[in-house]
Amino acid sequence: MLLGIFALASVLSVSSCKKMPNDGYPIYISIDSTRFEATSAQGGNTSDIVDIWMEANSDDLGASQIPITVPVLQENVVKFLFQAGIRENGASNNRKIYPFYTLDTLTVDTPRLSTIHYTPRFKYVDGLNFNVEAFETAGLLYSGLAKINDANVRYGIGCGKIYVAPTETEKIASMDNAITLAGGQQVYLEVDYKSTNSMEIGLLVNGDELPIIALFQQTEWNKLYLNLSDPVSAYSGSNFKIYFKVVKANGSTDATVYLDNIKLIYK
C-alpha cells in the first residue's frame, strides 16, 4: 500500500515539474483587419474576409472572427501562418478557408506577455483562370446589364445595373459567351451586389437554367463567394454561362440590382 502511494506521489511530482512554454505566460497576436490585393486583370480589390485561421509553429489555433486578440503559448522564435476565412455561399454558418487566396506568414521573436499587432495580406494564388466583368472598360461580357458610373458604383469607375421597369415582371442578365468546364475543378463566382429586390443566381447549362442561390434584398454593398464546384462537376464538360435573374416582388413598382466585380474563377 505504501509502495503504491509512493509511486503515485512520484508521478505527481514529475508531472507538476513539467515546464510549460513561456512558464505559462503567453504572447498575444492581435488582428483588426486584413489587406487584399488583385491585379487589374483579376478585377477589383474587394474582399469579405471575416475570419482568420491561424497556426503558431506546430499549434493549430483554429479560426477566429476579426477583430481578434489570441494568446499563444510559444517560446522564442514563433512562425505564424494565416489563412483567409469567408462565408461560403453567403451563409454565416458556412465559414471556410477560401482556397483561391494565398496564405500569409509572420515570424517573430518577442518577450512573453507582449502583443503583436499585424495585418495579414492576401492575394490570389497562382494558376487560376479568370472571367472578369469589372465595368472598367468599354463593352460588356454580359447581356441584360447596363453600365453606370454614378454614386452607386462599388469600385472603380463603373458598375452594372439590372432594372425591372414598372411594365416588366422580370429580367435576366447572362454571359454572352459560354465557358466549357470539366468536373473535378474548383469553381467560384465572386460578385459584389446590392439590390432593392431579391435575386437569383444560377448557371445556364447548355442553355437550360440551373438555379443555384437566391439572395434577399441588400441595401448596402455585399460580397458573395459562391462555390460552383459541385454543379459544374454534375454537368462536366458542358457549356456554362452565369446568369442573374430579378423577378419583381409583389406590390413593387420596379426593382433595381447593382453588380460589380463579377468574377468567375476556376482552377
- The cell numbers describing 90, all together, are 453567403
- 101-158 pLDDT, tens digit per residue, is 999 999 999 898 999 999 999 999 999 999 999 998 888 999 999 999 998 888 888 9
Please check whether the two domains, 22-122 and 129-266, share a CATH topology. no
Helix (H, G, I), strand (E, B) or coil at 265: strand
Q: Are strands 115-117 and 95-97 parallel, antiparallel or unpaired?
A: unpaired
Give the CA distances from residue 200 to residues 21, 176, 178, 244, 257, in Å, rounded to whole numbers and listed in that order. Answer: 52, 18, 19, 6, 11
The pTM of this model reads 0.89
| % of the chain at pLDDT higher than 70 | 92
Is the separation of the CB atoms in 129 and 262 below 8 Å?
no
CATH architecture of 22-122: Sandwich (2.60)
* Count of C-beta atoms within a 10 Å radius of residue 134: 25
Q: Give the mean model confidence (pLDDT) for residues 161-188.
A: 96
| Length reported for the chain | 267
Domain spans of the chain, in order of start:
22-122, 129-266
Report the distance separating Cα 92 and Cα 33, nearest Å: 18
Amino acid (one-letter) located at 243: Y
Could you give the C-alpha distances from 205 to 105, 116, 208, 260, in angstroms and in order? 40, 49, 5, 23
C-alpha distances in Å from residue 80, one per residue of 53, 96, 102, 104, 162: 10, 19, 14, 8, 44
Asked if the 129-266 domain carries CATH number 2.60.120.200, the reply is: yes
Does residue 169 sit in helix, strand or coil? Answer: coil
In sequence order, the 6+-apart residues with CB closer than 8 A to the CB of 118 are 29, 30, 31, 80, 106
Write out the DSSP string of 97-149. E-TTBPPEEEEEE--TT-EEE---EE-BPTT-EEEEE-S-SSS-SEET-EEE-
pLDDT per position as a tens digit, 224-238: 999 999 999 999 999
